[in-house]
Structures are given as C-alpha cells and as structure tokens.
Structure 1
Amino acid sequence: MKKIILKKLLFRNYLKTSLISILFIGSLLICAYFWTNKNIIDSSKDFLLKDANENTTKLINKEISTLRIKLHEVTSLLKILKAEHEFFFENIDKINYIEKEKIDINYNKNGAYYKQQDNGGSSVVFLSKEKLTNKMKEKIFKTENFDRSFKTIIEENPSIMAVYFNSYDNMNRYYPFIKDIYKVFSSDINLKDYNFYNQATLKENPMKSIVWTKPYFDPVKKEWIISCIVPIYNNGFLEGVTGIDVSLDSFTKNFFDFNLPYETLSMIIDKSGTILAMSKGLDNILNIKESKIKDKNRQINTTILRPSEFNITNHKVFEKLFTKNFYLKNSDSRIVIKNKEYIGFVNEIRINDWKVISLLPVQNLLSSVENLEEKHLKIGYFLISFIIVFYLLFLIFLYYKSKQFVESINISLRDMVRFTQKLVTNKPVDKVPFSGIYEIDKLAKNFNNLSLELTQRTQKLIQTEALKIANEKLANTDALTGIYNRRFLDDFAREFNCKPTTLSVVLFDIDDFKQINDNFGHDIGDKVIKKLINIIDTSVRQSDCIIRLGGDEFLLLLKDTKQKDAYIVVEKILNKIEENNKKENNNIVFNVSFGVCEYSSHHKSVNELIVEADKIMYKNKKSTK
C-alpha cells in the first residue's frame, strides 16, 4: 500500500471537510440538544413521580407497621381481658371479695351508687334509682378483681387512656379513678344506648368479636378518642362490655410527626370514610375544622361523633379518585383541590379496614425539574446565537490558520509515536488495523504492542488474585465436609462484634457419635457427618453459615433471624433427620441435640452467644436421655 504523508493529506482536505462537517455537526448537536433535553426532562418527571410514589409509600408503610403493632397490642390486651372477665362471670360464685372492708358505697340523689374513696383501683358507679341490692353490691365488690389488669394496662401503655367494664344493669367500672364519678353521667343515662356499649351487642356484632368504635368526643378527657370494645358473655347471656379507650392524638402522634417528602399530607380513615386523624394543614385544604366542644360539667349525656365534613365521601373532589371501598380507580391518581394538583396514594393498615390516604403536591415535586427545563431552554437559545456568530468569524479565521493547524497536528502525532516507542519493547500484536497513513500506522503498531503487554500483565494479576482467594477459601474450609471451620468463625466474630445485628445461632451435637465410630468405623462416622451437613445445607438459606467447630459439633449462623424463626429451621432439620432414619436399608442413622440462642444486649460477643447455646444444647441432651 502506498504511504501518504499526513501533512499533505490534511492540508489538501482540511478546508473542504472542516466547513461541511462543522456545519453539519453543529446543526445536529443543536437538534440533539433540544431533543435530548426534552426526553431527559420528561424522563425526570416520570422518574420523580415514580420515585416519590415508591419512597412515600415505603415511608408510610413503615409508620403503618408501627401503628399496626399498636392496634394489635390493644386488641391483644382486650382478648386477655375478655378471657379473664368471661371466666370471672362463669365462676362469680367462687370469686372472693377484695378489700371489701375498705370500699364504701355512697348514694347520690341523681340515682347513682358510687365508690367514694380512691383505693388505687377503678372508680365505680351503679346508675340505678332502685335500692342497691346485695347482688349489685356483690358485683361491685367482686369486680375489684379487674383492677389489677386495668392498672397494669394503663401503666404499660401510654397511648391507652382508660380501661373499663360496663354491665348490662348499668354498672360502670372505670380506670383510672374519677373522683365523684356520678357527676360524669346524666341522671337518666342508659349505658346500652352509647357506642362504647351498643356496638358490641349481638345485633351490631353477631360474631361477638372485638370492635373498634368510630371516633367520638370524651367530655371527661376533653379529646377525641376511639374505643376498642368486646362483649362479655356468660353461657350466652351478655353480662356487659369491656373496653379500652385510646386517644387519637397520642395514638397517631408518631405517624404524623415524621415529615414526608415534598410536603406530602396524609390522613387515616375508617371503613366508612370518616377521618380519624390527619396531617397539619390538610384541614385547611379540605375546608374542615374541628369545633371546640366545651362542657364544664364533664357530663356524658350523648355520643358526640365527628362532624359530617370529616367523612371524605362528602367531598366531591374524591369521587373521581376512589372507589366505594376507597381504592384508587385507575393509575392516573391526580386530583385538583383549590387549583392545586395532587397525586393520591392509598395504603392499607389491614386492621379494622382502616386506610391511609396521602396527597402529594405535584408542584412541589416537579418544581426543580421545571426550573431546570427553563434554564436548559435559555442555554439552548444562547448556543444557537453563539454558533451563528462563531461560524461567521470562523470562516474568516479558518483559511489563515489552516496551515498552522495542520502542522500542529502533525507535530503532535510524531510526538505520540516517539512516546509509544519508548514504552513498548515487545513483539507487535496486529489488533488495530492500518489506515495507510504512515504516522497513524506507526502509532497503531506501538499501541498494539502496549495493549498486548498490558493484557499479559493483567492476566498475571488476575491469576495471582484468584490463587490468593482460593488459598483463603481453603484456609477457612473444613477438609472433610467442605463447610467453614473455626478460622472463619473467628473472622466472623471479629466483624460481628464491631457491628452487631440480628443473629440467632444453633449448636448441633451428634448423639453418641463416639459409639458410632467405635461400633461401625470411622468411615460410617464420616458419612454421618456429611449426611447431617447435607440435611442442614438443604434446610437453610444461602446466606446462612454452617461451621464445624470440631469432631461432631456444628454451628449454624442464622443472620437477620429471630429465635422463634430459628426454631422453625431446627424443626425442619429434625424432621429431615427423622425421615432419613426411617428409610429402609439405611445404615446412616443418627440423632442430634441442639441449642438455640438469639443475640441480645446482654451478650458481649459472639463467643458468649455460642457458650449460651452450648449450655442450652447440653441441657436438652440431658433431658432426652
């Protein structure tokens, strides 16, 4: 191939090709700029909307989990009270009085018998204009047994305001104690008419299950509450209703204390659409206000429910967004409230059909992208103006500088050739094709040599690193089973002790392993060990670690696993061992002892955790012999 001097080639074609290519590329870049900018902005908006949806949902679900735990805790406590109270009424004749001599029952002219003194228990009022019978007195005295549970629940649960029992014959036992409780109830009150009683009756609650009431105003505590109530039956007869009052403000405080991104607002609704609680500022957006209820006498004479404007079904703006069950109608969840666009999210609490509805302001989310779009447009217009002026000047400048420009390129290329020749001394590797230009061909030749040398060195480094990794793995592996050994455990313990996380350990020991070796030989003993490792390996996750501590002792590290879940894994392993032992013509029969322990604050290290598991294992071993 005939060689062409680069200097002549550039000089001859520079003017012609430069003008055409620069004009073409300039126009193409301008078009590409605006097209790319538009796509980036649109993609950014879509990404922000999706990301905001996912992140907001993730944050809300995290808080929902906390709220769900609180709700579940209340219902669990009420289940305990239900069992306790039903047992009480089934065996009331066998129940002893508690401190009867210290309880004085007074009568008020409004027709209420009440406990006057605070003996550390509940306040009691019997709303009856008839004379207090011995049976009524007996119920007052014997239900003092309830107070221990009531008091414990209140002391251990800050969000719970009160625990009480309302009987079918108008007796109210309420903790904490209310002085002069007869003043709280009107003279003609019938407890069965109020939501904290009637919603638990057979008519309203045929399943006799736990019920959450709608929000209502408590004139005693002067705040909005909800009650978790359950009927107490005695052989089919409704003895009364036990309930737990929860303050809406304190119960949902943590839920609304954290700041959602982009000033997102949320509200919790019940299955009827009534707003239980909401973020600050949402009331102004929906034009709803909680009217201040004043009652100097703190008297209960009617059930005060949320005003109708607190039900979202009364707001037409939500009709297009939600179905009757308050799910999103379609993927486009945007609504406009007061000329401001929002994106709606719905998350389920999964208890009592409660849901969380969130409204994310679109303007807050997209404002940064829109500002960026405006800046990019201004930059684009500036670039167009600049390119036009630049090309006019460039046409004049190009001719006079062409010779100088070509010479500068040629000098630079010659320098590059000399530089590559100094770096490489090995034989050439023909990878980059020759172009027919002398200097470029020379550069390609030297570059290929350099590339080959670098490739060989890289391969050597890779081989060295692979050998290092293999040696480390071999040092951390048990020769017989291929699982980790004590060296790996030491490394794991050092790392874990620096940054502890949730961890459960299971220590296994093969029962009578020495007898197996003595009676059947070490080959059978080795097979027993391998069989156990195979069973454990097929019963755990890939992230879990099996370690041979020595002889017939093995340690299983279950990361991010609670103790109760560790027992499930152990049960699976024991079942597989039992299945293996039942197989016909099977000479690999064995049993194991185990000890399970979860890392907690009193453990100073992994070794302490293993020692505790070892004690539990040997305790279990002794109990099975």
Structure 2
Amino acid sequence: MKLSILWIYPILLFFSSCEPSSKSGIDSSLVIDRSIILEMESELTQLDQEIVFLKDQVEFLLANRDSLLKLADVNKYIFKGGLSTNTPQDSDKLSTLVILNSTTDFEKSMETALVTNSMDSFFKHTYEKYSIVAQVYINTVDQVSRVFPAYDVTNLLDPDLDVTNFNFFYEADLKHNPSRGPVWISEVYVDPAGRGWILSLVHPVFEQGDLLGVLGIDITVDDLIKRYLEDLEGDFLIVNNKGDIVGGNASAIEALSFPPLLNHVYRETINADNFRISNFNLFNSKNNEVRMMAKAIILEKKSHYLFQDEFSPEAAYAVPFSLLDWYLIKLDIRS
C-alpha cells in the first residue's frame, strides 16, 4: 500500500503543476470597479447634449445671416491683421477671434465672424458650467477661429495654418461623420498652454446643407484623472487604442520600464520640451512583457495579462471604455 501511494504522489504533483494559475481565469471586473468608468463617461455624455445645444444656436444665427449682418457690432473686436487684439486680461466675456491667412475671401470670413459674435456668451456659459472644460470653440471652412476663453494668440497660433487639415475639424465632416452628430476624438493632444493632454468633442455645423464649420469642446484629461482616479487605491493607467499612455499614477507608469518622469509627475513630463509620446507607448516599451501585455489587452481584447518576468509587475487587469477607445488598466506591482 505504501508503494502505491509513493507511485501516485509524483503523478499528482505533475497534474497540479499543469493547472493554470488561480489568477488566469480572473474576471477583470472583479478587480476594477467599472462604475468608475461609467461615472466618468456619464459626465462626458452631458457634454454631448451641450454641444448639440451650441450647434443649434450657431445654425440659428447662420439661418438669419443677412438680418444679423445689418445689426452686427463691428466694433466688438479690434483686429491687427487677422488677429483680434484682446488679451485674456482685457475681458472675461470675449473669445480670441482669428481670420487665418489661409482664407480665400477675407471679407466673407469677416461676415461669418460678425454673424457668430453672439456665440461668445454661449461659449462662456458652457465653459463656466463644466469644470472639466478647457475651452469651447468653432472653426469654419472660411478659416474663422473663435476660441473661448481668450488666449495669447500672438505667441501660440500660427496664422498661416488651415484649420480644415486638423482632426478636430475633419473628424466631424461628412466623410468621417455621416450621422452629423457629436464625435469624441480618442486621440489626445498636448495643450500648448501647458494643461497637459486635451480630449476633444466636436460637432459639425451646417448652413443651407453645406458644412460651414465645426464646434469643439476640449477637456483637460488631467482634471478627469484627478477627479476619478487620484483617490483610488492601487496603480492605474489609461491608454488609448494605439497604446499611448493618456494618464495614470507615476508608480504605474514607472513600473512598466518607461523613462523616468519629471518630478515623478506625468503631466510635467508631457509639458517638457523634449517630450515624445512614442517614448510612452506600451508597444514601444523596452520591456518585452509590457509589449506582450499591450498586445493581449489592446489587440486581442483580453481582460488581463499575467507577467512572467520577476522585474515586471505581477499582473495587469483591463476594462475598456464605451464612449472612448480607451482602456483603464490596473497593475498589481510586486512588493
């Protein structure tokens, strides 16, 4: 009897060693509270309704273009070339208004600017109503740009650019947005005013059936992260569908073998002159395990990844956003 027990014992050891880790079948929803994402997206969804309201106001003005031109206050803005001369310190009621050099008809562009002057008050209301809003704006096919609140246009804007070449414009056109509704642009950009990553919601504006312009509401991603992730226990990342790190805890970012963060703060790193987003992309990590994690979560749509390398975190758990093509990732970092 003793011999049979000794013979069976190594077989049991073999089969037990072949069993998957207790974490291999874990449901990421048990690790990450999905209500975090739902709450975040609920706040963002309110802006869908807001930008539709703004669209209705602009299209009403355009429908009454001729009558409004007769009543327009031509002295509301003073221009030097195509740039309004007001500064952020002059008035908290004015936008920065620009007619870019790329316009083919300056007079027509000026008419569009005059007709839409009353949008300043609507932009101001939206900006003050939502604390996460960084700016509200409209860019038009005739190269008029109105942005609230006002900014240092002389130092921050290239007057020769063509607004229709940027994703915050063309992502809302009929080719990219045949439904003509609100569009969230998942690809964030670095704010030149130093507020870190900016997320944009855009909506097309039509005049007599033709695209006249695109409204936009920009969100400061850092404010979103502070509000919803800063007080959470654990190490979190938000990445987009390209693997770019949108935000997260310094400990989480540094655990994935990325370059050291400036003062251990990702936002400060983003604002540095030598920042390159490619240096903070999961697929570009020097750690092969991190690249494998990115492949599993983003490309293969898996809910978790277990690291094998003892110098990497122990595990990563991911939950996708619904509104945006983003992922919330929680890391279990080895102690």
CA contact (8 A) 2:101 2:160 kept: no
Note if 1:170 corresponds to 2:143: yes
Note if 1:269 corresponds to 2:239: yes
Structure 2 residue runs of 5 or longer lacking an equivalent are 1-20, 260-265
Note if 1:314 corresponds to 2:289: no
Per-residue CA distance 1:355-374 (angstroms, 9 max, x = gap)? 2121123x55xxxxxxxxxx
Give the whole-Å Cα distance in 2 for the aligned partners of 1:87 and 1:279.
Answer: 45
CA contact (8 A) 2:69 2:111 kept: no
CA apart distance, 1:135: 3.0
User: Would the alpha carbon gap of residues 136 and 195 (structure 1) be closer, same or farther in structure 2, given more than 3 Å must change?
Assistant: same
Structure 1 residue runs of 5 or longer lacking an equivalent are 1-44, 296-303, 365-625
Structure of greater Rg: 1
CA apart distance, 1:84: 2.5
- For 2:46, the aligned partner's letter is E
Equivalent residue, structure 2, for 1:208: 180
CA apart distance, 1:352: 2.2
Note if 1:327 corresponds to 2:316: no
Superposition pairs of residues 70-219 of structure 1, within 5 angstroms: 70-95=43-68, 100=73, 102-108=75-81, 112-116=82-86, 118=91, 120-128=93-101, 133-179=106-152, 181-213=153-185, 214-219=187-192
Give the whole-Å Cα distance in 2 for the aligned partners of 1:93 and 1:79.
Answer: 24
CA contact (8 A) 1:98 1:142 kept: no
CA contact (8 A) 1:231 1:238 kept: yes
Give the whole-Å Cα distance in 1 for the aligned partners of 2:200 and 2:280.
Answer: 18
TM-score, with structure 2 as normaliser? 0.76
Per-residue CA distance 1:364-414 (angstroms, 9 max, x = gap)? 5xxxxxxxxxxxxxxxxxxxxxxxxxxxxxxxxxxxxxxxxxxxxxxxxxx
Give the whole-Å Cα distance in 2 for the aligned partners of 1:225 and 1:63.
Answer: 20
- For 2:212, the aligned partner's letter is E
Per-residue CA distance 1:102-126 (angstroms, 9 max, x = gap)? 4143223xxx242536471212011
Equivalent residue, structure 2, for 1:220: 193
Equivalent residue, structure 1, for 2:317: 345
User: Would the alpha carbon gap of residues 220 and 239 (structure 1) be closer, same or farther in structure 2, given more than 3 Å must change?
Assistant: same
Q: What's the secondary structure of 1:351's corresponding residue?
A: coil
Note if 1:232 corresponds to 2:200: no
User: Would the alpha carbon gap of residues 324 and 222 (structure 1) be closer, same or farther in structure 2, given more than 3 Å must change?
Assistant: closer
CA apart distance, 1:343: 2.2
Per-residue CA distance 1:151-171 (angstroms, 9 max, x = gap)? 111111111010000111211
Moved beyond 4 Å, runs of 4+: 48-55, 96-99, 129-134, 289-295, 318-321
User: Would the alpha carbon gap of residues 63 and 306 (structure 1) be closer, same or farther in structure 2, given more than 3 Å must change?
Assistant: farther
CA contact (8 A) 1:348 1:355 kept: yes
TM-score, with structure 1 as normaliser? 0.43
State which of 246, 249, 257 in structure 1 corresponds to 2:219: 246
User: Would the alpha carbon gap of residues 340 and 306 (structure 1) be closer, same or farther in structure 2, given more than 3 Å must change?
Assistant: closer
State which of 206, 211, 230 in structure 2 corresponds to 1:257: 230
CA contact (8 A) 2:102 2:162 kept: no
Equivalent residue, structure 1, for 2:254: 284
Give the whole-Å Cα distance in 2 for the aligned partners of 1:306 and 1:253.
Answer: 23
- For 2:202, the aligned partner's letter is I
User: Would the alpha carbon gap of residues 91 and 101 (structure 1) be closer, same or farther in structure 2, given more than 3 Å must change?
Assistant: closer
Equivalent residue, structure 1, for 2:6: none
CA apart distance, 1:248: 1.1
How many percent identity over aligned positions?
Answer: 22
CA apart distance, 1:210: 2.5
Note if 1:66 corresponds to 2:36: no
Q: Could you say which structure has the higher helix fraction?
A: 1
Per-residue CA distance 1:540-577 (angstroms, 9 max, x = gap)? xxxxxxxxxxxxxxxxxxxxxxxxxxxxxxxxxxxxxx
User: Would the alpha carbon gap of residues 53 and 120 (structure 1) be closer, same or farther in structure 2, given more than 3 Å must change?
Assistant: closer
User: Would the alpha carbon gap of residues 277 and 241 (structure 1) be closer, same or farther in structure 2, given more than 3 Å must change?
Assistant: same
Superposition pairs of residues 529-568 of structure 1, within 5 angstroms: none
